[in-house]
């Protein structure tokens, strides 16, 4: 008996991760300050999140601020931190009501107390949601994440909770910021740059990549749908040879 198409799992990606690049160039092309582009990019996030359920995307991870972004001007960094606070305050109710669960990954030590409080509140307010799992990488770097995970693992070894000979490639993921998430199926980078910029280094070992020219504030749900359909046509072998 043929399978019911309505009951078949989606052939598109279940977990999409996005490097949201190009906000500053988008603004500069319009003769506006870079922060104008970041505000436009923040508005774009809502459209993408809302599109996820219809595309079969259960997990969405977005790169909001890297450990290297502190090198930008003080004006831009301060503006971004203010934008994060305003975005959380504005969107908490909508995200909670729309079934979106929000998590933050990255090192919070350098963030100010008010922002951390807002992040904690948003995570708590959405903890019971399950429609889409939105993960925001804030003060995040892949190498930094692995270093912090390794420290936690080393403490468990030193405490006698873990034997060194039992450590393998399945062990470290349990100490990563993303330990409760599946690895991304598809990683998208906007703005025409073809590099991964220290994003999800461990987790994306077998992810499919799409590097597109679109600047993030111009990225649409329609383009996300196109990329998901393209993903569905790929053969993912994970190092094996098809029989």
Alpha carbons within 13 A on the beta-carbon side of 233: 5
pLDDT value, residue 169: 94
pLDDT value, residue 243: 55
pLDDT value, residue 238: 54
Enumerate the active-site residues.
Answer: 21, 69
Q: Tokens 């009951």, residue?
A: 7
Q: Tokens 């910029």, residue?
A: 197
Contact 164, 157 (CB under 8 A): yes
Alpha carbons within 13 A on the beta-carbon side of 93: 3
**pLDDT one digit per residue (tens) for the chain, 243 residues:** 333 434 444 579 999 999 999 999 999 999 999 999 999 999 999 999 999 999 999 999 999 999 999 999 999 999 999 999 999 999 999 999 999 999 999 999 999 999 999 999 999 999 999 999 999 999 999 999 999 999 999 999 999 999 999 999 999 999 999 999 999 999 999 999 999 999 999 999 999 999 999 999 999 999 999 999 999 876 655 555 555
pLDDT value, residue 7: 42
pLDDT value, residue 242: 58
pLDDT value, residue 236: 54
Query: Maximum CA pair distance of the chain?
Result: 64
93 vs 114: CA distance, rounded Å: 18
pLDDT value, residue 136: 98
């Amino acid at each position: 008996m043929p399978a019911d198409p309505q009951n078949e799992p989606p052939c598109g990606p279940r977990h999409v991760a996005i490097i949201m690049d190009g906000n500053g160039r988008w603004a500069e092309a319009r003769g506006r300050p870079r922060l104008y582009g970041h505000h436009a990019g923040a508005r774009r996030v809502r459209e993408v999140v809302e599109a996820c359920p219809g595309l079969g995307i259960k997990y969405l991870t977005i790169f909001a601020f890297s450990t290297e972004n502190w090198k930008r001007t003080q004006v831009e960094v301060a503006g971004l931190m203010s934008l994060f606070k305003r975005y959380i305050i504005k969107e908490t109710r909508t995200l909670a009501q729309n079934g979106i669960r929000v998590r933050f990954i990255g090192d919070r030590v350098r963030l100010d107390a008010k922002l951390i409080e807002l992040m904690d509140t948003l995570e708590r307010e959405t903890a019971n949601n399950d429609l889409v799992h939105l993960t925001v990488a804030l003060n995040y770097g892949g190498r930094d994440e692995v270093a912090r995970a390794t420290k936690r693992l080393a403490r468990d070894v030193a405490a006698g909770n873990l034997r060194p000979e039992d450590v393998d490639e399945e062990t470290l993921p349990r100490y990563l910021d993303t330990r409760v998430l599946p690895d991304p199926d598809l990683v998208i980078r906007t703005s025409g740059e073809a590099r991964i910029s220290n994003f999800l280094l461990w987790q994306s070992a077998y992810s499919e990549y799409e590097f597109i020219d679109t600047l993030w504030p111009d990225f649409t749900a329609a383009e996300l749908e196109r990329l998901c359909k393209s993903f569905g046509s790929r053969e993912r072998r994970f190092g094996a040879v098809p029989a």
